[in-house]
Amino acid sequence: MKFTDWATRVLLIWLMFATLIAVLLIGRATQLHNNPITYHTSNPQVTAWSQYPQAQFQSAKEPEKKFQRVIKSPVKISKPLARYVTTQAFAQYRPNYQVASVDPTNYGERYAQDVNGVTLNNQPIIVLHETGYSASSAINFFQVAHTDESVQASYHALIKLDGTVIYLVPPEKRAFGAANSVFESPGVVETVQTNPNLPASVNNFAYHVSLETPPDSYDSSSQETHSGYTETQYDSLAWLIAQSQVPDDRITTHHLVDRSGKKVDPINFDGNKFLDLLNTYRQVRPIYRVSK
């Protein structure tokens, strides 16, 4: 066979393969055009408060570590500061908990400035409430969108009759628990106006916790007809607040901060019992700050 004949045959065979490959590629392109591939990326909505219940459920109390002081020269040791730490009693108490969503219209962001542009630096307070009716009725209300700002309402947390803690609004958000309200401490009156059309309130620096009202006290506004709260409610309330750094004298009630003259909750709340439990679940530990 002549070389030219052999080269011709090889060239023809190569052209046939090339044509076949081209046909296959065109067919694949047509298939992709008609049935495009969609790449699904996992991008779930992650909200800060979704992890909050787990953060609240602290692990069993770790063994106390010896305090080590780092000294740099020259140094000046500041006066001791106090910090709350949870106790073994706290670690041993484990209430049930639930997470319930709240419609975004019923809570908002905490403001850095008031309506006049004044920078805000209020220390947190805790305001105690009661639902007035069942826990489920309160949650249902919070889950409904309310465009009227005068009726928007929410708590950060709610404690049912059986002691179950229901997490509602993340603590870094502003729950609408007290409308026209003021917190009074010795020599200081604290309130913040964030909406020029509404009265000032404590909401911007408050953490709102509510106790479920007992069924025999629905719509009750007097101590005589209110049967009070369960032991497990007091335990769970103290357990929840023990995880905060809010001091006892900045824990108050809706009745005390209210300036509308209409709020009397929580009715028949035993403050002494609550504080005794709170001091069982947390204690003060001095902290020494090392500074130059």
Q: What is the pLDDT of residues 200-209, one digit of tens each?
A: 999 999 999 9
Q: Is residue 57 part of a domain?
A: yes
Q: Which class for 246: exposed (0-12), middle (13-18), buried (19 or more C-beta within 10 A)?
A: middle
Query: What does the DSSP 8-state code read for residue 124?
Result: P
Classify residue 28: in a domain, yes or no: no
- Mean pLDDT of all residues belonging to the chain: 79
The answer to the question of residue 11 being in a domain is no
Angle between helix 231-241 and helix 271-281 axes, rounded to 10 deg: 50
The answer to which of 6-20, 79-93, 167-181 has the lowest mean pLDDT is 6-20
- H/E stretch holding 136: helix 135-142
Q: Residue 265 — pLDDT band, cuts 50, 70, 90?
A: very high
For residue 34, pLDDT over 50 is answered with no
Any domain includes 26: no
**CATH value at residue 203:** 3.40.80.10
Q: Tokens 């140094």 correspond to what residue?
A: 75
Is residue 177 situated within a structural domain?
yes
Whether 30 maps to a domain, the answer reads no
How high is the pLDDT of residue 183? 98
Of 110, 193, 198, nearest in space to 150 by CA: 198
Q: What is the mean pLDDT of residues 20-40?
A: 41
Domain residues for the domain of 221 are: 48-287
Instruction: Assess if residue 40 is contained within a domain.
Output: no
For residue 231, being part of any structural domain is answered with yes
- Give 220-229 contacts, CB < 8 A, sequence gap 24+: 220/267, 221/264, 221/267, 222/267, 223/267, 223/268, 226/267, 226/268, 227/268, 228/268, 228/269, 228/270, 229/130, 229/161, 229/266, 229/268, 229/269, 229/270
Give the pairing type, strands 97-99 and 165-167. Answer: parallel
**CA-CA distance, 220 to 207, in Å (whole number)?**
24
Structurally, the chain folds into a number of domains equal to: 1
Cβ contacts of residue 244 below 8 Å, gap of 6+?
A: 84, 124, 126, 207
Q: What is the mean pLDDT of residues 219-239?
A: 92
Sign of CA dihedral 204, 206, 212, 213: negative
- CB within 8 A of 253, min separation 6: which ones? 127, 128, 129, 265, 266, 269
193 pLDDT above the threshold of 80: yes
What confidence tier does 28 reach under pLDDT thresholds 50, 70, 90?
Answer: very low
